[in-house]
Structure 1
Amino acid sequence: MDFNKFLRYFTPKDPSFYPLFEKDALNLIKTAEVLKLLLSTEDIEQQETYIKQIKDLEKIGDDFTHTIFDQLNKSFITPFDREDIQQFTSNIDDVVDTINGVAQRIRLYKPKTYIPVYLEFAEIIYLAAKEIEFSVNLLTDPSGNNEKITQSCIKINTLENKADELYHMGISMLFENEKDPFELIKKKEILETLEKAVDKAEDVSDAIKTILVKMA
């Protein structure tokens, strides 16, 4: 057992991190929920309402990130390695930022219509967010919950694989059906940003798996 692991084992963990992790994950779920609503309507006024909500949630996510980093600087003993907390927190923030990126592109480009795979992507992002939240809630005991967390991470990987297939399907649909080159460019960039959000969710899963390995 290396010294840092030895120290963590015999020193009380700072409990203040866990509520922050859990609230950060819940904010991610809420952001994903609003993304589903945004991609369920082509009404401009409704879109603007949801875009504003996502931006507000993105700011809340930034606040959580800054609070966690501040707590890292103040804490002598942390529940996991500092770099892993920083990576894990940054990755959650990246997912929320990328969802906001989707919303801002919709506001900027104003596509005339959505392609069907957009909403399917939103559902995948939401399901990945739910798995992230599930895993985060189990991080109070990574060793005891190792199997459950591992299975949740596998589900996120499966969702990412599904998103890859969906992306290729969406690209094919775009080039086959969209005759307006400007609309094609707009819709393609929105699609790419949706796929990026799923990739960022998998990055969270990878960070959680790193924590599991180190805490084993």
Structure 2
Amino acid sequence: MKHIRTTMENDRGYVLVVALLIMAILSLIGVAGMNTSIFETQVAGNEWNAKRTLYRADGGVTLGAELVEQNLGCEGIGFKSTLINDTVMISNKLLSFNGLATDDDIVTKINAPATSYDAAFSATGKLTKDDIGYLFFGGETTPLVGSGMEFGTAILGVSASQGGYGKLYEIHSQYLGTKNSESIIESGWIHIVGKEGSCIF
């Protein structure tokens, strides 16, 4: 009997060991949950940044089409200044007269945008190298044919005697956002010859 009583008395520290093991396991679960939460927050932040960069590049396409139309209104003389405002700067005052570029030319320009852009823009209110977009333009004048074009020229008031010509533009918008995010969008734009506005810039 004495042997059994001694064994039971030696089990007193067993509860302490079990409690420490349970605390260690709960601590590991807490640390793992915290790491998962931090990782998910970083993923959400990166996704938000990528979407913001994409939307800014998409806005650049709209800006590019507006710049082309405004520049065509200044036919022959181009814009008065290369700085349109605090958020838009152009490198060529006659940007609407750029010819179409080959795919290799566009890739070369996109790889070195700071030295080869046609227009630079910012969505943050000030042109900075950390959060900036670049536009590249190319266009050619061509006769527009087809029933859709004939319908469109009738709506716009351009008669067949005026030629039914348009200037087809490729607008490439590249936006370099924060955290090395980048979006590139290519779009087409058709300007109907004879529908130029007045020169504003």
TM over 0.5: no
Larger relative contact order (CA 8 Å, sep ≥ 6): 1
More helix by share: 1
User: Which structure has the greater CA radius of gyration?
Assistant: 2
TM-score, length of structure 2 as denominator length: 0.26
More strand by share: 2
